[in-house]
Chain A
């Protein structure tokens, strides 16, 4: 039977396997290309109607059917930059503790625990952020900041406004927790590539741990740290559910980091199913296209940087 089948369908196993695996690999390229095409075609009615103004307009009005991406873009960028600024020093601290300071037997379980932070789903961060973190944050830091920081020149503007708990700063902090594990693991990996001789030599001339780490190790891995930073930024830009819970969902741009705002992903998540008509949907997909372009550029840069450093 088998011989008969083979005679009827002369299949070269090797050839078939090679072609099937090639087709599967090629599918990735097709998917990425199709993703871009679908975003462009889906967004086209909005781009056609609003032109380049779509990217700069702060109008987002389903009633008058005028849509612009600026509010969401602002919220996305500001919350992500806050997240990276907060997570970077902490991530470096954790990475140094785990790979240089703490005893070997403790390092492994602690590393796993930190990595588990990345496994917690985005929506859980959102719920925790909204129901636990935000009330605590508004009652503590925001009230304190309102009394002590709001009157300072320039930076006071960032910390004025009602202590509502949700808003840009809260989103940034929640995002910082979410990107901490990736930053830590990339910096730890970079630290492990620094040759041991370098450490020994510096300890040998009587340097303290601080001096070895701050003056020898960290400068040696500047490149990979920068790559990790960009990669973490890319993660933060695309986060959806956590942000949707805590950013406040207000289509506006305010100086104060305490005020509710919105992000690209939160706007899409909140409005897509309740969109009022085709141009609204097209504008939401347009926001998606903007997000795709930013993350593609950011992530591409990070990958190139990290790869160059590895070589």
Chain B
């Protein structure tokens, strides 16, 4: 009997310790980011461009480039993703083709992001003859796409049959039922999926290494190699200069906070909506 109780206590202790370990890692990572990143927080971080080796400067061009490429990526991925998710939920449903596309979508979602980088390098960079913000955006769009597709499909499946039948009963064409009734009723869910994919792609480094490359100038033209935060962090963190290392930590703090905030927001959104209605 005592043996059983001891075992039980040990077992529970193990589960508690595992959880503490997981949470501990999150806390330690965030604490490190704050400790090392805050030291470099200043206005010049947002107003000055990346400095030359060992010099002083900010991350303005990298932040701007990341914002532009993430925005372009999402603008490319959203319409295609929502439409594809709609096809799976409304037209394809249980067909064999839909099954295959769902499977391939799952595979694309779990394809290593560096492979997406290699793919876009060969497809766009080699074709255009130079690295560019467009290539980076396309790579990010391909990463965001499967996430948007699967959330859209999941959300549309939640729309009750009655709603569709009511719409169809009034003689509304099917596409209008989908656009004005279904999208509207699960819109928050779809937006959540889009926000999550923004969070996912804004920290991606590997696919940008050889698509957008990087740039130490303020570049607003996506047809040129484009500065971006993740690749700048990578290069500066690995460099021997203290001032670059400091910028890398500050950039890391910025990007992580932005991503965590997006995650929390995407979780809070459905609840806010529920409370209001």
- Asked if A pairs with B, the answer is yes
A238 & B234 in contact (Cβ 8 Å cutoff): no
Interface 1/0 per residue, A107-130 and B, CB below 8 Å: 000101111110111111111101
The number of residues on chain B lying at the interface, defined by a beta carbon within 8 Å of a beta carbon of chain A, is 87
Is B166 an interface residue, CB under 8 A from the partner? Answer: no
Q: In the complex, what residue of chain A is closest to B110 when comparing beta carbons?
A: A299
CB of A141 within 8 Å of the partner chain: no
Q: Is A268 an interface position by the 8 A CB rule?
A: yes
Residue contact B92 to A121, C-beta cutoff 8 Å? no
Within the complex, the shortest CB–CB distance from B131 to chain A, in Å, comes to 9
Identify whether the interface residues of A are mostly helix, strand, loop, or mixed: helix
Contacts of B249 in A (CB 8 A): 127
Q: Report B-chain residues with C-beta under 8 Å of the C-beta of A235.
A: 110
A275-289 CB mask vs B (1 if < 8 Å, else 0) is 000000000110010
Partner of A273, one of B18, B107, B145, B209: B209
Q: How far is the CA of A26 from the CA of B91 in the complex (A)?
A: 13
| Known interface pairs A24-B83, A120-B29; A97-B108 also in contact (CB < 8 Å) | no
Docked-complex contact B22 and A121, CB < 8 angstroms: no
A209 and B8 contact, CB distance less than 8 A? yes
Taking CB atoms, residues of chain B closer than 8 Å to A102 are: 19
Bound-state Cα–Cα, A182 to B178, Å: 33
Question: Which residues of B lie under 8 Å from residue A213 when comparing CB positions?
Answer: 11
Which of A21, A91, A113, A132 contacts B91, CB < 8 Å?
Answer: A21
Interface residues of A in 16-47 (CB under 8 A from B): 16-18, 20-29, 31-32, 34-35, 38-39, 41-42
Residues of B within 8 A of A (CB): 4-5, 7-8, 10-12, 14-19, 21-23, 25-26, 28-29, 32-33, 79-81, 83-84, 86-88, 90-92, 98, 100-101, 103-108, 110-116, 118-119, 121-123, 142, 145-146, 149, 173-176, 178-179, 199, 203-206, 209-210, 213, 230, 233-234, 237-238, 248-249, 252, 255-256, 259-260, 263-264, 267
